[in-house]
Amino acid sequence: MNFKQLEAFVQVARSGTVSAAAARLNTTQPAISMRLKDLEHSFRSNLFDRSARKIRLTPVGHELLEYAE
């Protein structure tokens, strides 16, 4: 886990979309997606529920958001 991964995670959690987070962080959607994938791999758990158009936090994601903020 590193700062860029946490930063991406917080921005996606706040905005609900990878594209909005990428725009706010002045980077690309694939870069944000890779950071999230690596972060989820570190936790060995999904941090987001991606079943809807806007992604939502899982219970583990909610816990991490509290820590990250």
**57 has a pLDDT exceeding 80:** yes
Owner of token pair 């999904």: 46
Residue range 37-65: average pLDDT?
93
* Confidence band for 51, pLDDT divided at 50, 70 and 90: confident
- DSSP summary character for residue 49: E
| pLDDT tens digits, one per residue of 9-21 | 999 999 999 999 9
Q: Is 17:51 a contact under the CB 8 Å cutoff?
A: no
Determine the number of helices (DSSP H) and then strands (DSSP E) in the chain: 4, 2
**pLDDT over 90 (residue 50):** no
Report the chain's mean pLDDT, rounded to a whole number: 94
